[in-house]
Chain A
């Protein structure tokens, strides 16, 4: 479906509001929307909610031959899926839209080129077998600022993931099942996170974490990928605008604060998840649903009355057999009559 056009009236309203330093949802200029991380039952499954934007990431692994240029390094593969459920404008089917390609490339740059995952530790046998780590980001709901949401959920999922243990003896490689040996976490050097800044009125005003409506109005945006050690991993600018040098510096200073906040949130969520797992408390998606919401509902399991079902089934089968026999008898009679 085509995008719903944005009226000039609404556009002017949003820009006017931004000029008065206020936003539609009542946030401050440098505020993020509410962030929530949920980990699934499977290892390496993480759902990130940023306001109404929701992204779920699943990390998986398989054994493959390495790239010929890098025979002793594992492979990290990043894939962003713009699911048609996320927005009416996302089309189903294999071909990726320009927006999807941009998002995918940005995330790839943020995760792969910052070398946050130690790919050398993913080598099993140099030149023959390495682990390929696959990161699938599924966008479930699109309400602006997908880059930040995807990058946070991807790095959290990578930190949550465990790969099976392997042992090598000579030429033989054994992959141990989860029951035999405890799976191993990936070695992650640092957590690069993206922070998006939206610019309005030729770079005069800037906002952190633009929502969908603000994204439609903005002149352009700048994405800064950074880790908590204040190292910039990626920097990308897009849109029709020119900005001043000191604005870039100001943005990177804001990004430092935001990245520290998000990293803390990820660490806290990871700890809460591992605590729940070790203590045998409920975890995963069912545990994250708040039952006191009016839209949520819970139903305890009840024993279902199955008494007498077997006898009924027997009767049905007998009935069917009897009627079958009757039919056969009738057919015989008819045939006899015809012969007479």
Chain B
């Protein structure tokens, strides 16, 4: 193992986004990380159907829309991760008997897509001005066949025979791990190295959020 040799391997791709992309939702954001693009929209807190109403907290409704065909298991999986992250981030207890709906549309998947979706959702929540416990930043990395660490991989790099593929989600206050999704075979030390590299990279994502909102609000 395993630290990256080239500078390209230890940097996030260019981030480019637009807030309030859509006129109908309460908050929306389109985020491109490299060429991976996703569009997230937030409605809420708004009225909820009686059958879904919860008396002590807000109902979270997450919908992920793939670009082609009907949503399958992949979509359900993404929805679950986004839901658990959002429930951590949003103060759900503050809005009982309401529903907060998050809709994510796939626009272009070219690698590190889970982190792109999560970051777009965070931006959309910030755009909707919902009170949050903290913001979150997601970073994806892979350990390739040679055992090298590679941050923010592209689709073709993800498709190669890699040892492991990990996505970490951090909070903005203590940079603690909120969620982690890992695939493959790795040692404890490799895991911790990936974790710390992603933690260092999450700083970039947080500073992007700050820049984007400062630009919008000033």
Interface positions of A (Cβ within 8 A of B): 1, 40-42, 45, 47, 52, 54, 56, 58, 60, 81, 83-88, 92, 134, 136, 138, 140-143, 284-286, 289, 291, 293-306, 309-310, 312-314, 316-317, 320
Given contacts A41-B35, A142-B24, A304-B197, 7 further A-B contacts (CB under 8 A): A42-B67, A56-B67, A84-B63, A286-B34, A299-B204, A309-B193, A320-B188
17 A/B residue pairs, CB under 8 Å, sorted by A: A42-B108, A52-B23, A52-B24, A56-B105, A83-B65, A86-B22, A92-B61, A285-B35, A289-B32, A293-B18, A296-B17, A296-B18, A299-B15, A303-B7, A306-B10, A306-B200, A313-B193
Q: What's the Cα separation between A85 and B64 when bound, in Å?
A: 10
Of the candidates A54, A60, A306, A312, the one having the most CB atoms from chain B within 10 angstroms of its own CB is A306
Query: Does B138 sit at the interface, judged by CB under 8 A?
Result: no
Classify chain B's interface size: 35 or more
B47 and A1 form a contact (CB under 8 A):
yes
Which 3 pairs show the lowest CB-CB distances between chains A and B?
A: A313-B192, A85-B41, A85-B103
Question: Which residues of chain B come closer than 8 Å to A92, judged between CB atoms?
Answer: 61, 63, 101, 103
Q: How far is the CA of A313 from the CA of B195 in the complex (A)?
A: 9
Contact partner of B14 (CB less than 8 A), chosen from A40, A299, A303, A306, is A299
Contacts of B37 in A (CB 8 A): 40, 284-286
Instruction: Give the residues from 133 to 171 in chain B that come closer than 8 angstroms, CB to CB, to chain A.
Output: 149, 151
The total number of A-B Cβ pairs within 8 Å is: 178
Interface assignment of B12: CB less than 8 Å from any CB of chain A? yes
CB B157 to nearest CB in A, in angstroms, measures 15
Overall SS of chain B's interface: mixed
CB-defined contacts of B13 to chain A, threshold 8 Å: 301
Residue of A nearest to B213 (CB): A297
In the bound complex, do residue A304 and residue B14 qualify as a contact, i.e. CB atoms below 8 Å apart?
no
List, in ascending order, chain B residues with CB within 8 A of A1's CB.
43, 46-47
In the bound complex, do residue B208 and residue A297 qualify as a contact, i.e. CB atoms below 8 Å apart? yes
Q: Which residues of A contact B34 (CB under 8 A)?
A: 286
- B189 part of interface (Cβ distance < 8 Å): yes
How far is A56 from B20 in the complex, measured between Cα atoms in Å?
Answer: 17
Name B39's closest neighbour in chain A (CB-CB): A140
Residues of B within 8 A of A (CB): 1-4, 7, 10-25, 28, 30, 32, 34-35, 37, 39, 41, 43, 46-47, 61, 63, 65, 67-69, 101, 103, 105, 107-108, 110, 149, 151, 188-190, 192-193, 195-197, 200-201, 203-204, 207-208, 211-212, 215-216
For the complex formed, measure the closest distance between the CB of A185 and the CB atoms of chain B, giving whole angstroms. Answer: 18
> Is A298 a contact partner of B7 (Cβ separation < 8 A)?
no
Which of A134, A140, A304 meets B11, CB within 8 Å?
A304
CB neighbours (8 Å) of B46 from chain A are: 1, 88
Question: What chain A residues lie within 8 Å of B65 (beta carbons)?
Answer: 81, 83, 85, 138
**Cβ–Cβ < 8 Å partners of B195 in chain A:** 313
Complex interface: chain B residues within 8 A of A302 (CB) = 11-12, 204
Q: Which residue from chain B places its CB closest to the CB of A314 in the assembled complex?
A: B189
| Residues from chain A with Cβ under 8 Å of B216 in the complex | 294-295, 297
* Distance (whole angstroms) from the CB of A116 to the closest CB of chain B: 21
Are B189 and A285 in contact, CB atoms less than 8 angstroms apart? Answer: no
Asked if B69 contacts A54 (CB within 8 A), the reply is: no
Instruction: Please give the distance in Å from A289's CB to the nearest CB on chain B.
Output: 5
**A298 with B14, Cβ < 8 A, contacts A85-B28, A85-B41, A310-B193 known:** yes
Residues of A within 8 Å of B193, CB to CB, are 309-310, 313
Closest to A81 in B: B65
Cβ of B24: which chain A residues have Cβ within 8 Å of it? Answer: 52, 85-88, 141-143
A295 CA / B195 CA spacing, docked (Å) = 32
Q: How far is the CA of A19 from the CA of B37 in the complex (A)?
A: 44
Shortest C-beta distance, B121 to chain A (Å), equals 12
- Cβ of B25 and Cβ of A85 under 8 Å apart? yes
Least CB separation from A297: chain B residue: B212
When distances are taken between beta carbons in the complex, the residues of chain A under 8 Å from B2 are: 310
CA distance A45 to B15 in the complex (A): 21
A85 to B192, CA, bound (A): 38
Residues of A within 8 A of B68 (CB): 58, 60, 134, 136
Asked whether B196 lies within 8 Å of A303 as measured between CB atoms, the reply is: no
Shortest Cβ gap from A162 to chain B (Å): 15
Is A304 within 8 A of B12, CB to CB?
yes
Cβ-closest chain A residue relative to B149? A306
CA distance A294 to B18 in the complex (A): 9
Nearest CB on B from A86, distance (A): 6
Nearest residue, chain A, Cβ from B32? A286
Nearest neighbor of B187 in chain A, beta-carbon distance: A317
Kindly identify which residue among B10, B61, B215 contacts A297, using a CB–CB cutoff of 8 Å. B215
In the assembly, what is the distance between CA of A299 and CA of B13, in Å? 9
Q: Do the beta carbons of B110 and A41 come within 8 Å of each other?
A: yes
Q: How far is the CA of A309 from the CA of B211 in the complex (A)?
A: 27
Contact call A303/B11, Cβ cutoff below 8 A: yes
- Rounded to whole angstroms, the CA-CA distance of A136 and B197 in the bound complex is 39
Judging by beta carbons under 8 Å apart, are B189 and A313 in contact?
A: yes
**Are A306 and B192 CB-contacts (below 8 A) given A295-B216, A299-B204?**
no
